[in-house]
A and B are shown apart, each in its own frame.
Chain A
Amino acid sequence: MALLQISEPGQSTAPHQHRLAAGIDLGTTNSLVASVRSGVAETLPDAQGRHLLPSVVRYHAGSDPVVGTAALAAAVDDPLNTIASVKRLMGRGVDDVRHIGDRLPYEFVDGSSGMPLLRTAGGDVSPVEVSAEILRSLKERAEQTLGGELAGVVITVPAYFDDAQRQATRDAGRLAGLNVLRLLNEPTAAAVAYGLDQASEGVIAIYDLGGGTFDISILRLNKGVFEVMSTAGNTGLGGDDMDRAVAHWIMGQAGIHAGAGHGQLRQLMQVARAAKEALTTQARVSIKVHRDDGSRWAGELTRAEFDELIGALVEKTLGPCRRALRDAGIRASEVQTVVMVGGSTRVPLVRARVADFFKAEPMVDIDPDKVVAVGAAIQADILVGNKPDDEMLLLDVIPLSLGLETMGGLTEKIIPRNTTIPTARAQEFTTFKDGQTAMSLHVVQGERELVDDCRSLARFELHDIPPMVAGAARIRVTFQVDADGLLNVTAEELTQGVKSGIEIKPSYGLSDHEIETMLRDSMAHATDDRDARRLREEQVEADRVLEALHSALAADGDRLLAADERAAIDAAAATLAARRNGSDYRAIRQAIETVEQASSAYVERRMNNSIRAAMAGHSVDEFKT
């Protein structure tokens, strides 16, 4: 079978050409890239055969930043310019970072968008830019290994990431020049990696303890559909905290004071991590550290002592497990399979406590470091169009409730947590002053009653409300959460049917304008490359649009279109076909947009038809039985 699927050279322009896709696990400590090659999803190693890329970026004055192992090696000597664990800062505000930052040895400066910047020898950089460097490095690795440009990627995020953290991740992908097909929740990705191997059905719990985050998700798997029932977690809990607990213990034993230098602290963290890793297989480990004054300390840590140091941390993961079970409406005994994800699940105490809690031996067949990237690669391969007949579908949920600020600093929930996405809710508002033409909505995310206890996502300023007497306007605001878990808001005044202009002020994010500027800056030195690439992209897109349009028109164009509508579409398509062979990517883009506009009513009719057909097909089935 497989032999027949290998395409002949020279057939590359065929419409079902294999497109290169990758799954990226952008982790707190390590990142990975995986791809489906010859039907097998596997992580891609670098030239030295290393699969894990340390999520560390070192900045230099006047030269490009260094990412990965080389950067990690410099962390002890050059801590201020070497950024690690940047995932913890994604989508966070200046105040949050002050809280997280007392444990991170960096210099922070206030950025313009409520987003903190890190001061480095290479200039002030945002967490989004640091993440983009990591993504760029993985993109290069994938493109070299696979021998071509990536058509699209799936990037994983903790299920518990809020809107701002997701948006920041998407922005980083865009900055790295990636076509992000989807943000996929890490536990769901892990389930995909296991599910396809074993075609299991039933309820699965995915326990994901990474370097800096903890997630628990409860999924129902049925005939290729992965339906997330609930998710819970803690974005500030992970293996790093175990390292820190061990480092504290060493400091106490070795008499190292809390105000030790950055280099000393980094060294302690590395020694602590090595000790933790050794204790997954050994009952005791010997530890040596150099003090700042040049003296040495040597000691021993047993697994029993280690278990005691991390016991409270492990217990803290069980609270979210209980909550996720409640939200899913099931008991621990109904969970058939427990999947372990994240390097920290190698710790024996973690495995023992999880087995005890769910009364099931957790699955560890796939390397817990790689399982997320592997699942993401499988999803990317499907989304990019390489497996048109695949039945797999992932239905995720929104992890935290979305709400609006109301009078007195209270929140009103619009979309409750664990609602399946995509989802949309509309709510009506009115004006409270005569002639009022603008209003402001404050959207927050979280479960608490008070606005101050939730995360502020954005303020939406509505303009162009037609002036009327107080209370007469009916403004319908629609909150749409897409399949990535990202919020989009639109507003309309119903009595006069006027669309309101919306200005979004993200609380901790980059505006579109800022991203455009960064993109321009990062590509300034490569204009020619960029133009050539844009042209190729637009040509591929033009071919896709024309191909899809022609096959649609052949199927039902005569039935669904009036003569004048058909003529408009044909004219737009002819223009696009002519421009496609030119060299002006802007002209091609414009022609694509014209085709899409001309055919928008047609596309909508086809979609409605398709819904009706789906319903009708069903009634026929019912009639038969």
Chain B
Amino acid sequence: MSAPVITHVDETPAVTSLRRKDLLGIADLAPDEIALILDTAEAMKEVGSRPIKKVPALRGKTVVNLFYEPSTRTRTSFEIAEKRLSADTLNIAIASSSVVKGETLADTALNLEAMQPDMIVLRHSSSGACHLLSRICRSGIINAGDGMHEHPTQALLDAFTIRARKKRLAGLKVAIIGDLLHSRVLRSNILLLTKMGADVWVCGPPTLIPTDVMRFGVRATSAVDEAVADADVIMLLRIQLERMEGAFFPSLREYFNVFGMTEARLRRAKPDVILMHPGPMNRGVEIASEVADGPYSVILDQVANGVAVRMAVLYLLAGGVEHETAA
């Protein structure tokens, strides 16, 4: 089946399934596939509002959540999504696995694979870990964050949240501010937003801007007011305390003074600006508390939408509409 040419990516998608077994990154997705995931997530969101929050879509499927890094939000979100789709789920965290005995990722994957799971959701501190797993496993691999590379479901839930508020992605000015260099959320978001036609600005101290970031098709600045000016969406990225040791910036106080999102800075954006943060937040570092809890903030919407988007991804990768019609 060949997909027809998509001219308006924000309209109803012409595809009905994903053309892949894995979700390794936004880099691999075509705009029509992104639109399909977001539209499917709309339907999944409805499931979450029912009194009985469960559909049989993944009944009999086994999903392994393999987490090599601590994560509360993402792991919980995936687990709820899997359970709402009736999948059998299994959580493996680094501390309770044989990794501590020195087993390699490749061997762990082969052992898991021998038990024939349908999908593996992987969170790992090394960029490219999901690609390694994908080369070894027949199971579908979903990237739940690999090193500094990508966190595709975060970008999808961010896009879903933006679309819910703004009814579109194309043409919006999105300013992403914070530690760009070490952020997988940044990479997935700029890939997704530029594919969908948004006007993306990235902002942070020069020490935390990736090499040649303009080649992603974004505009980079260290002037926060310029990034925020007339923005439709402001997305803040977490500043990690340990970055001071790498001399990326002198102190958290100075970071907040130069880049922290305050009421005053926010006033330069569009009146209906929305403010996002992938969490966990450092109040008083990248974001002032009154802003985080203020009327522009959609931070908790992001968390809520994460479940629906992950349900959509799991459902579509497991066969989606095509699978249902075949059955």
* Binding between chains A and B: no
